[in-house]
Amino acid sequence: MFSRRLNKHASIVFLSMITVALGADAPGTTAEAEDPPARPNTYGQVKEFLAKHTDLVELADQKGGRVLVAPAYQGRVMTSTLDGERGMSFGFICYDFIEKAQNDLRFNNYGGEERLWISPEGGQFSLFFKPGIKQQKLNDWYTPKDINEGAWNVIARDGSVIRMDRKMKLQNTSGTRFDVNVARDVRMLSGRDVAKLLGNDVAEILGGDGVKSVAFETINRITNQGRPWTKQQGLISLWMLGMLNSSPRTVVIVPYRPGDEAELGPVVRADYFGALGPDRLKILPEAILFRADAKYRSKLGTSKRRAVDVLGSIDFHGGVLTVVQFSMPDDVAEQPYMNNIWENPLDEPYDGDVINSYNDGPNDLGSQMGKFYELETLSPAAELKTGETLTHRNRTVHVKAGAKMLDRLARRIFGVSLERVRKEMMSRSSG
């Protein structure tokens, strides 16, 4: 796995994402021909659509890499590509919601390859349920207004970086109020940056012939501008969510720390929205496998005693490998992580997950947010004094390569071959 480079005394999490688009020789990519997507999905087409509805900031490198940022959509990175206007667009875009141009008090679902939220979602310290709500159900779930609405202020911008910020007022279910300033930078990364982040062996693969890549980083900060935060009244943490296009042949891969359940607890928490059968969830010695087809609303997580610093997914039909790599504190098991379970009160509000993955599907209201799944990572929380800051860095790299290079990356990063993943989750006997 990737090495950890975080000072154990700092409440900082570094998150990275790598997406590798395969060539035609990738395992499983020729099977199960599907109808073309209902909406155009090249980067140029997505940019043209978005530009009709909001102002965009485009960052670019000299090799065809592009990143689209929408300050008015809460500073989201909407999508990116590695091959210019005609290249694949990686971020999920919610076309119907954007076209309606109507504010949704529950969740303004513009989509977006990377957005910033603030945790926790559930429990007595939830930011998503108002005070007095005991039964935490979807009917009463609302994204906090200052997270959900309003444009971010653009502080500075050029061709390779944009800097934004936003003042927010939040309140948790227990009635505790938070006055914060949230700042967010998005910048392109150089090849040297990527090599330093991922290590020499991965950098060697990425530097091979026939390989294309795009890389960007977000630096996300919360500064406490109110009273000191205490565990007794509730803490908050940074939460990064990457919305990606689903397919019937997409599988999330989550390596984990092995060991006795009596010491480390369950390998995975998978009962957020109900139990999952073997066709949707499997636990291998190397990793947890989770179906991400946007046909069944479900979610899983790994705890601070089980999490390692990587997760990802493989879309066998589209030929895309996605890797989310992040750094955790050296003493991660001792850090407070906000518990997002929808239950009030929670017995252990600071024993939450480090990693989550969400698969969308029909919900309790009889609707569905979209054909997407998410790869998520949370920072630890911190008892910040007035003026102190919590920082979360998120680095995203997309790489186009052939199947052999892809499998080398998967084995190096996940410790499991993609053929094993395909056989376990895609074969007729897999569940």
Domain definitions of the chain by residue range? 16-426
Q: How far apart are CA 70 and CA 143, in angstroms?
A: 19
> How many residues belong to the chain?
431
Q: Find the mean pLDDT for residues 152-169.
A: 96
DSSP character string of 351-387: B-EEEEEEE----TTS----SEEEEEEEPPP--PPTT
Q: Find the mean pLDDT for residues 352-357.
A: 95
Residue 178 has pLDDT above 70, yes or no: yes
Q: How confident is the model at residue 404 (pLDDT cuts 50, 70, 90)?
A: confident
Per-residue pLDDT tens over the stretch 373-400: 999 989 999 999 999 999 988 888 877 7
Please choose, from the candidates 177, 136, 147, 182, the residue with its C-alpha nearest in 3D space to the C-alpha of residue 163: 182
Structure tokens given for 8: 């154990």
Q: Which of 188-197, 260-269, 315-324 has the highest mean pLDDT?
A: 260-269
Q: How far is CA 260 from the centre of its chain?
A: 28
Compute the CA torsion angle 375, 367, 76, 381 (nearest 10 deg): -50
Q: Specify whether the CB–CB gap between 403 and 280 falls below 8 A.
A: no
Q: Find the mean pLDDT for residues 152-179.
A: 97
Task: Provide the percentage of residues in the chain whose pLDDT is more than 70.
Answer: 90
Q: For residue 75, what pLDDT is reported?
A: 98
Residue 172 has phi, psi (to 5 degrees) of -95, 175
347-367 per-residue burial string, b: 16 or more CB within 10 A, e: under 16: eebbbbbbbbbbbbbeeeeee
Q: For residue 428, what pLDDT is reported?
A: 63
Per-residue pLDDT tens over the stretch 238-268: 999 999 889 999 999 999 999 999 999 999 9
Q: For residue 57, what pLDDT is reported?
A: 97
* Start-to-end C-alpha separation, the chain: 29
Task: Choose the weakest-confidence range: 107-111, 313-317, 350-354, 368-372.
Answer: 313-317
Contacts of 384 (CB under 8 A, 6+ apart): 222, 224, 228, 229, 390
Q: How confident is the model at residue 328 (pLDDT cuts 50, 70, 90)?
A: confident
Q: For residue 38, what pLDDT is reported?
A: 58
User: How many CB atoms are closer than 10 A to CB 219?
Assistant: 17
Q: How far apart are CA 308 and CA 324, in angstroms?
A: 11
| 57-60 vs 12-21, strand pairing mode | unpaired
Q: How confident is the model at residue 15 (pLDDT cuts 50, 70, 90)?
A: very low
Residue 13 has pLDDT above 60, yes or no: no
Contacts of 21 (CB under 8 A, 6+ apart): 82, 88, 318, 319, 320, 321, 398, 399, 400, 401
Per-residue pLDDT tens over the stretch 332-347: 999 999 999 999 999 9
Structure tokens given for 168: 């927010």
Structure tokens given for 225: 């501008």
Alpha helices (H) along 199-319:
200-206, 261-264
Residue 9 has pLDDT above 50, yes or no: no
Per-residue pLDDT tens over the stretch 23-79: 433 433 333 444 445 577 899 999 999 999 999 999 999 889 999 999 999 999 999
Domain 16-426 bears CATH identifier 2.60.120.10:
no
Alpha helices (H) along 40-116:
43-51, 95-100
